[in-house]
Amino acid sequence: MVRELNNRDASFEQDFKALLAANRDTENDVSGVVKEILDDVKKRGNQALFEYSKKFDHVDLDDTNMRVRSDEIKNAIAACDDDTLDALKLAAQRISDFHIRHIPEDDNLTDNTGVKLGVRWHAVDAAGIYVPGGKAAYPSSVLMNAVPAKAAGVPRIIMVVPAPNGYINPLVLAAADIAGITEIYKIGGAQAVGALAYGTETIDPVDVIAGPGNAYVAAAKKEVFGTVGIDMIAGPSEILVVSDRKNDPRWIAIDLLSQAEHDEVAQSILITDDAEYAKQVIAAVEEHLATLPRADIARTSWDNNGCVITVSDMDDAPALINRIAPEHLELALENAQGFSKKIRNAGSIFIGRYTPEAIGDYIAGPNHVLPTSGSARFSSGLSVLNYMKRNTVIECSKASLEKIGPAAMTLATEEGLEAHKKSIGIRLQKD
C-alpha cells in the first residue's frame, strides 16, 4: 500500500526524513564491468564495438553497416504515421524556439582602471546523443537532447542507438532526421559511451555526451566524465503533485501514475491539505490501475515508492517541496502562480489545473531531461548551456597594469610565487 504521512503526527519529521533518505536506485554496482568495457573500446576500437554488439544486442556489425545509411533513415520515415511525424515536427520546433532564447550573449566592458574584460561563448565542436534502443524507444528523448545542441550551434551532432536483433525503432530515426542528425551508429551500452568519449577508427570522439540509458550507460558516463562533459547522471523518474480539493481526483491520480508507469523505482508524491480528498485520490489511482496497460509496473512503483502527504495548511507545503527538490512539480491550486514563487528547488514546475506534467514530456518546449533524486537543489535541466562553454577575456594597457599590478605583486609575494610577481613587475620595471 502507498505510504501516507500527516504533518500533524508526532512522528512526521522522522517519517519525512526516511522518505527523503530512501534509495530507489537499486541497480547493482556495475562499475567494474563498465571500466573493463571502456578500456577495451579504448584499446581495440571498432572490433570491441562489434564483439559487444554481438554479445549484448545479438547483431552482426562491421565497418560497412555500423553507421545508419541515408536510405535506412528514409525508409524509417516512410514507415511512420504522418500524424506522428507532424507531432514530432511541432515538438521539435517548440523545443528549438524555447531553447534558442537562452543562448547567452558575449559581454565586454572596460572598468574604471582601463582594464578590458569580457566573456565569449562558443558551442562545443561535437556532441554525442545516447538513445535507448529496442521497441520501447522514446523519440521525444531524441528531440529533447539533440535540438538544444542544434540550437546552441554545435556543428557535429552524433547519435548512438542500440539495434537489438538489428532493429531500430523507425520513430527514433525519424526524430533524429527532424533534429538534423545525420551521423548515427547502431551501437549501445557502455561500449557506445566509450566510442563517443575516446573515438574509434570510424567514430571521431565528441566533447559532450547527453542522453538517458540503463545502469551500464550511467556508470559509463560517470567514468568518462573529465575526458568529455556529460549532461547529468539521472536517477529514477519522479513527480510531486500539490493539489487542493477543487481538482477532480481522477485527474490527479492519473498524473501521479504518469510517472509511476515509467518503471518500478519511479516515485509519485501527492501533497494536499484535505485528508478526505487524499483518500479520493488514492481510490482513483486504484480505478486507473485496473485499466492501464503498464499497470504492473505502475502498481509496484506506487505501492513501494508512492507517498501521500496531508498538511494542515498549504502554507506548510513549500518548505517540504524545497526539501524534496522534485524532478517534476505540479501545482494544481488556486493562485498556483503565486505559490510557485515560493519554490526554489524543482526541475520543472507545471502551474495550474490544466498543465499536466505529460505536456512537458513532449510538446511544451522546456526540456524533459531534469535533475532527479534531490539534485534540483544544485542543478538544472538540460539546456543550450550544456553544449556551450565560455572564455573569459582580459586586456591590460600599460596604464591599467600600473594601477592594478602592484596589488597582484603583493598577493604573489604572500603566496611565495616569485615568478608570478616578476612577470608583472618586469613590465612595470619593478622587478
- 328 catalytic? Reply is yes
| Cα 59 from Cα 53, distance rounded (Å) | 6
| Cα 95 from Cα 222, distance rounded (Å) | 27
Pick the catalytic residue from 264, 327, 330, 357.
327
Pick the catalytic residue from 99, 262, 288, 328.
328
- 402 catalytic? Reply is no
C-alpha grid cell for residue 284?
Answer: 482513483
CB distance 249 to 275 below 8 Å: no
HEC per residue, the chain: CCEEEECCCCCHHHHHHHHHHCCCCCCCCCHHHHHHHHHHHHHHCHHHHHHHHHHHHCCCCCCCCCECCHHHHHHHHHCCCHHHHHHHHHHHHHHHHHHHCCCCCCEEEECCCCCEEEEEEEECCEEEEECCCCCCCCHHHHHHHHHHHHHHCCCEEEEECCCHHHCCCHHHHHHHHHHCCCEEECCCHHHHHHHHHHCCCCCCCCCEEECCCCHHHHHHHHHHECCEEECCCCCCCEEEEEECCCCCHHHHHHHHHHHHCCCCCCEEEEEECCHHHHHHHHHHHHHHHCCCCCHHHHHHHHHHHCEEEECCCHHHHHHHHHHHCCCEEEEECCCHHHHHCCCCCCCEEEECCCCCHHHHHHCCCCCCCCCCCCHHHCCCCCCHHHHEEEEEEEECCHHHHHHHHHHHHHHHHHCCCHHHHHHHHHHHCCC
| Cα 370 from Cα 91, distance rounded (Å) | 18
**Active-site annotation, residues:** 327-328
